[in-house]
Structure 1
Amino acid sequence: MFISWCIVISLLLLTVSYILGSHIKVYSKSSRSPYECGFNPIMGWRLPFNVHFSSSSSLLLP
């Protein structure tokens, strides 16, 4: 349930980010919990997968 909440919040912020024309980086973060979710205004979203979302609506999955 927590993971689902994390994804929902992430999608909401990505949408807001797209509207505001800002950039949000989603990337993997090595931690004790493989599904750690959090938001840091400087580092961006921390999720267990790599995604780059920008105002140009580009998604990069390395």
Structure 2
Amino acid sequence: MLVSYGCAPLGLALIAPAMGAWGVTPVLLGCAAACLLGAALAAVPRTSRTLSTPGGRAPATPVVSRR
């Protein structure tokens, strides 16, 4: 997450020249492909596909903090 925030200014600086060079549609399609690829790569590790709550079940009632 920190990497994406760190790279955001670089992307903002490069997107306008890229649109000028290649056009709006190809650049936006490339951005969409990069977003989809990032989500797909995040789903690759087995641990991300088998996430569960401790104990294997979701709590039946919401937990409310009482201070």
Tell me whether the two structures share a fold, i.e. TM-score over 0.5. no
Q: TM-score, normalised by structure 2?
A: 0.35
Q: TM-score, normalised by structure 1?
A: 0.36
Higher percent of residues as strand:
1
- Rg: which structure is higher? 2
Higher percent of residues as helix:
2
